[in-house]
Amino acid sequence: MDYLKKENSGKRAVVIDDEEDLTTYFSTILEENGFSVKTANNAEDGEKLVREEPPDLICLDLLMPGRTGINLFLRLRRRDEPLRDIPLIIISGIKEQINVDWKDIVKRSQIRVPNGFIEKPVTPQRLMRVVNDVLNNPSQEVQLG
Amino acid sequence: MKNLTVLSRLQFRGSRPIPLYRKLSVHNKVLLIISLLTLLLGLLGVIAFQFGLKVHFIKEYKDNFQTVTDLLSNRLVPMVLIGDSAEVNRLLSEENQFYESILYMTVTDRNGNTLGQSSDQEEFSLQYPQQALGNTSNDKKNSQDIKSYDKNIMEMVSPIIHDGETIGAINILFSTSSMNTFIRRLMTLYLTVLGILVFIFFLTVRPFLRYITRPIITLTRIADEISLGNLDLDIFYGKHVNCWEIKECGHKDCAAHTNTAVQCWFVDGTPCEGYEPKFPEKLEGCQKCEVYKTHKGDEIVQLADSFQHMIYMLKTSRAELGKSYKFQRNMIQNSLIGVIATNEIGVIKIFNLVAENLTGYSESETIDKLTLNDFFPEEVAVKIKRPLIYDYGLVLRGFRPMESEITSKNKEQIPVRLSGINLYEGEEHLGNVFFFQDFREVKRLRQELIHSERLSATGQAVASISHSIKNILDGLLGGVYVYKKGSKIKSEMDAQKGWNMIEKNIDLISELVIDLLNFSKERKPILQKCDPKSIVEDVIKTMENKARNNNVVMTSEYEGNTDNVYLDSHGLYQCLMNLVSNAIDASPSGRTGHIILRLESRNGKGIIFEVSDDGIGINKEIQNELFRGMVSTKGSKGTGLGLLVVNKIISEHGGIIEVNSEENKGTCFRIWLPKSSNNNSDSRISGTL
């Protein structure tokens, strides 16, 4: 996978997850693949990082205490948001309508759906496959069921 | 007291002799009295008749002898004047012989000296020794007098008058035996006739009296029949009058129409105009009615009417009572609720079908044979006496529906929902009545519901915690990944970092598994005597490290005597661990958080645990849902399972948990646990951990 390192070299990524272990895990995988990674453990800090230095990729968890990942996602995808085209991958344990029907929220908001979606647990291979798919084809959107 | 009662009964045993008179029937009494009166009057008549006859005959004697003495005195005047005693004697003797009834005659001069006598005085004295002879006093000489010496002898004194002067007196003793014989014979005849008359009267009046008293005897027998419960009696006295025929009022819907059981004036609600609707008020009006007048008889008929009415009323009342009894019995017997009623000392008096089906006893096996204690726990006998309702004074004793047990015939304890009422009529305690429902099905359904709720909650929990597990799994994967990377690039720091991640997530998954086990398991708390203070201290010790890492300071407070408390120490430890763990997770970032564990004993009534923090707090919406489902404020870190576990354990203790929280100020969880006795704990140590 060394080719990926070169390909992604110099690219910036922001990983936002309330679980510190997971930000460490994902950032380690991304750094291993040439990314320069910044991490945040809540939505507020994550948004700050994104706005300070807009990254090439955002990895966002949905369920977080305080402002949730869905809230941040909706903000970053607003029509008047200059950062709305930054590729965004949602990494979540939520698969279906368990606690939050985020897909329904996205549909009703008539905004761009996430570029990628990874359901936990995450293996390095799956993460990087989705990351590369998203980066190689930024117009790709997740097919919402 | 019992002996005394027996003794007093013994004293009155046997019957005192009843006077013969009281044994007689009324007509015999009347006969006896009439006969005695007749006899008495007869005897009085005898005496009066005899007396009258005697008076009559004495007058006759007096008149006759007056004539004799008048004749004699004319002839005696010269003899008395000259004192010729011999002539006097001769004359008296002649006269004496002439009048058979004269026994003895004497003549005295004015000085009272005897001038002559009809026979020798001594000879007469021998014949009639009792008689006083010649003792006629002077005062009697001036007037005629008659005097009785004996029932058969009388004396008459008559003066001898010459020229208006009494010169002597004639004494005549005469026999009245012929008169007495006549009177005796006459009296014998009279008494014989009287006896015959009484006998004839007795023979003729007795049946008549019996005829008069027969209705009384008949009514007495009717009363006896009524007292024996026989009301199918007909009384025929007087003629039953049919008001509908006499009045021709045409009211066919009237209760008296064609009613031959009772006369119309006894029937309530007849539509007759101007009458009161009900007996006896209507009677006054009815007495003026032609129907009543047609029927009106003597007192016996009226008495019979009253009897007839009484029977009619008794029949009506009995029919109504019977109907009411049947209705009530039917209602009780077929009630879908079990009913057992006892008398005041607890002996079973009512035992309905549900009770039969539930216990396996038949009604005949229980009524008057078994008691309250054969069916219900001892506490029921105590609870039934407790006041239940007050309304300006005690109205009702008993107890509201509660879960209890009933003992069946085969000694099985069947769970029931039981309530009981103490029955009073004024101050008199009548008994108790118990109502119960079979609770087995309800209990089973409740268990099923709890089970299904738990399954549902568990399912929800599984779904919810799968998210948490995924995070933990990612943490483990991440740990392994980072550890491998560290090993690969020989970075001890990265390897250690990876290892810490693995350890941390193993701890997390352990906690999760324990919570899951605690929540899903069917268990009863194992109450053991323990010191709750030590539980609090254990929790603080265990959580110290996590608190320090999260910049939280934990303190404890104790109030009251907390010794000798029965608790499931393991369960309480788990509760406090979860609450403290939550409190640490809720600690504010950027400053030191504070957690206070407080333990308070409420004078033996129970104990209180409090876990309060000054963390981020919980919004109202989530507070309301805290103990109902998987609610967490921790995002992917929390499942909400911990609080469900806490709630479950507290409920199992019969305790209460409440939360008081304000966003950004802090949260306080308060657990109240009731005091449990040792006995209670023994009965409850049957579950497994």
Residues of B in contact with A22 (CB under 8 A): 471, 474-475, 478
Q: Which of A1, A21, A23 to mutate to test the interface with B (most CBs of B within 10 A)?
A: A21
Q: What is the pLDDT of residues B352-396, one digit of tens each?
A: 999 999 999 999 999 999 998 899 988 888 888 887 777 666 678
User: Residue B434: what pLDDT?
Assistant: 93
Q: Mark out chain B residues that contact chain A at CB-CB < 8 A.
A: 463-464, 466-468, 470-471, 473-475, 477-479, 481-482, 485, 497, 501, 504-505, 616, 633-637
Distance from CA of B549 to the nearest CA of A (A): 14
The shortest CB-CB distance from B471 to any of A19, A24, A124 is to A19
User: Residue B369: what pLDDT?
Assistant: 92
Q: Are B46 and B130 in contact (CB under 8 A)?
A: no
ipTM: 0.79
Q: Is the pLDDT of residue B136 over 70?
A: no
Find, in chain A, the residue whose alpha carbon is nearest to that of B489: A32
How far apart, in whole angstroms, are the C-alpha atoms of residue B488 and residue B687? Answer: 52
Longest dimension (CA), chain A: 41
Encoded tokens for B322: 């019977």
Q: Which of A25, A42, A97, A100 to mutate to test the interface with B (most CBs of B within 10 A)?
A: A25
User: Residue B220: what pLDDT?
Assistant: 84
Find, among B256, B243, B233, the residue nearest to B315 by Cα: B233
CB A63 to CB B478 under 8 A?
no
User: Residue A39: what pLDDT?
Assistant: 94
% of chain B residues with pLDDT over 90: 12
Distance of alpha carbon B474 from its chain centroid, rounded?
A: 82
Q: Is the pLDDT of residue B13 over 60?
A: no
Find, among B229, B230, B282, the residue nearest to B256 by Cα: B282
How far apart, in whole angstroms, are the C-alpha atoms of residue B225 and residue B227? Answer: 5
Going by DSSP bridges, is the β-strand pair B165-175/A88-92 parallel, antiparallel, or unpaired? unpaired
The 10 Å CB-count burial string (b at 16+, else e) for A32-57 is bbbbbbbbbbbbeebbebbeeeebbb
Burial of residue B570 (CB within 10 Å: 0-12, 13-18, 19+) is middle
How far apart, in whole angstroms, are the C-alpha atoms of residue B231 and residue B308? Answer: 10
Angle at which helix B569-585 crosses helix B532-549, to 10 degrees, equals 30
Residue B324: HSE in the Cβ half-sphere, 13 Å Cα cutoff: 6
Name the pTM for this structure. 0.42
Q: Is the pLDDT of residue B139 over 50?
A: no
A92 Cβ contact partners less than 8 Å away, ≥ 6 residues apart: A61, A62, A63, A69, A102, A117, A118, A119, A120, B467
Arithmetic mean of pLDDT over chain B = 80
User: Residue B259: what pLDDT?
Assistant: 83
Q: What is the pLDDT of residues A81-138, one digit of tens each?
A: 889 889 999 888 765 434 456 667 777 777 778 888 888 888 899 899 999 989 988 7
Give the model's confidence band at B141: pLDDT under 50 very low, under 70 low, under 90 confident, else very high. very low
Give the count of beta carbons closer than 10 Å to the beta carbon of residue B134: 13
Q: Are A72 and A60 in contact (CB under 8 A)?
A: yes
User: Residue B682: what pLDDT?
Assistant: 36
Sheet holding B348-351, edge to edge: B348-351, B338-343, B428-438, B413-425, B394-407, B387-390
CB B467 to CB A18 under 8 A?
no
Location of structure tokens 């549900």: B354
The shortest CB-CB distance from B636 to any of A24, A64, A123 is to A64
Find, among B499, B475, B496, B517, the residue nearest to B637 by Cα: B475
Region of B269 (left: φ > 0; alpha: ψ -120 to 50; beta: rest) is left
B578 Cβ contact partners less than 8 Å away, ≥ 6 residues apart: B515, B642, B643, B645, B646
How far apart, in whole angstroms, are the C-alpha atoms of residue B618 and residue B662? Answer: 6
Find, among B151, B212, B141, the residue nearest to B181 by Cα: B151
Q: Mark out chain A residues that contact chain B at CB-CB < 8 A.
A: 17-19, 21-22, 24-26, 28-29, 32, 61, 63-66, 68, 92-94, 98-99, 119-124
Mean pLDDT of B235-257: 81
Give the model's confidence band at B324: pLDDT under 50 very low, under 70 low, under 90 confident, else very high. very high
Region of B112 (left: φ > 0; alpha: ψ -120 to 50; beta: rest) is left
Q: Which contacts (CB < 8 Å, 24+ apart) does range B59-65 have?
A: B61/B146, B61/B154, B61/B156, B61/B174, B61/B176, B61/B179, B62/B144, B62/B146, B62/B156, B65/B102, B65/B156, B65/B158, B65/B172, B65/B174
What are the backbone angles phi and psi of residue B339, rounded to the nearest 5°?
A: -130, 125
Question: Minimum mean pLDDT among B119-123, B245-249, B428-432, B448-452: which range?
Answer: B119-123
User: Residue A3: what pLDDT?
Assistant: 53
What are the backbone angles phi and psi of residue B501, rounded to the nearest 5°?
A: -60, -40
Residues of A in contact with B617 (CB under 8 A): none
Q: Are B503 and B483 in contact (CB under 8 A)?
A: no
Mean pLDDT of B275-293: 81
- DSSP for B217-249 reads HHHHHHHHHHHTT-------SSPPP-HHHHH--
User: Residue B286: what pLDDT?
Assistant: 85
Q: What is the pLDDT of residues B66-113, one digit of tens each?
A: 888 888 888 888 888 888 888 888 888 888 778 777 888 888 888 888
CB B501 to CB A21 under 8 A?
yes
How far apart, in whole angstroms, are the C-alpha atoms of residue B92 and residue B80? Answer: 13
User: Residue A86: what pLDDT?
Assistant: 92
Residues of B in contact with A127 (CB under 8 A): none
Q: Are B392 and B406 in contact (CB under 8 A)?
A: no
Distance from CA of B643 to the nearest CA of A (A): 17
Give the model's confidence band at B552: pLDDT under 50 very low, under 70 low, under 90 confident, else very high. very high
Find, in chain B, the residue whose alpha carbon is nearest to that of A68: B635
How far apart, in whole angstroms, are the C-alpha atoms of residue B630 and residue B622? Answer: 10
User: Residue B287: what pLDDT?
Assistant: 81
Peptide bond preceding B280 in cis form (omega within 30 of 0): yes
SS3 B81: helix
Secondary structure, 3-state, B436-490: EEECHHHHHHHHHHHHHHHHHHHHHHHHHHHHHHHHHHHHHHHHHHHHHHHHHCC
User: Residue B124: what pLDDT?
Assistant: 61
Residues of A in contact with B505 (CB under 8 A): 21
Q: Are B33 and B216 in contact (CB under 8 A)?
A: no
Q: Is the pLDDT of residue A1 over 70?
A: no
Find, among A47, A105, A141, A126, the residue nearest to B470 by Cα: A126
CB A63 to CB B466 under 8 A?
no
Find, in chain A, the residue whose alpha carbon is nearest to that of B481: A25
Q: Is the pLDDT of residue B622 over 50?
A: yes
Q: How many helices (H) and strands (E) does chain A have?
A: 6, 5
B104 Cβ contact partners less than 8 Å away, ≥ 6 residues apart: B96, B117, B118, B119, B124, B128, B133, B171, B172, B173
What are the backbone angles phi and psi of residue A125, rounded to the nearest 5°?
A: -65, -45
Residues of B in contact with A72 (CB under 8 A): none
Q: Is the pLDDT of residue B2 over 50?
A: no
Mean pLDDT of B25-31: 78
Distance of alpha carbon B36 from its chain centroid, rounded?
A: 51
Q: Are B555 and B595 in contact (CB under 8 A)?
A: yes
Q: Is the pLDDT of residue B425 over 60?
A: yes
Q: What is the pLDDT of residues A32-44, one digit of tens each?
A: 899 999 999 888 9
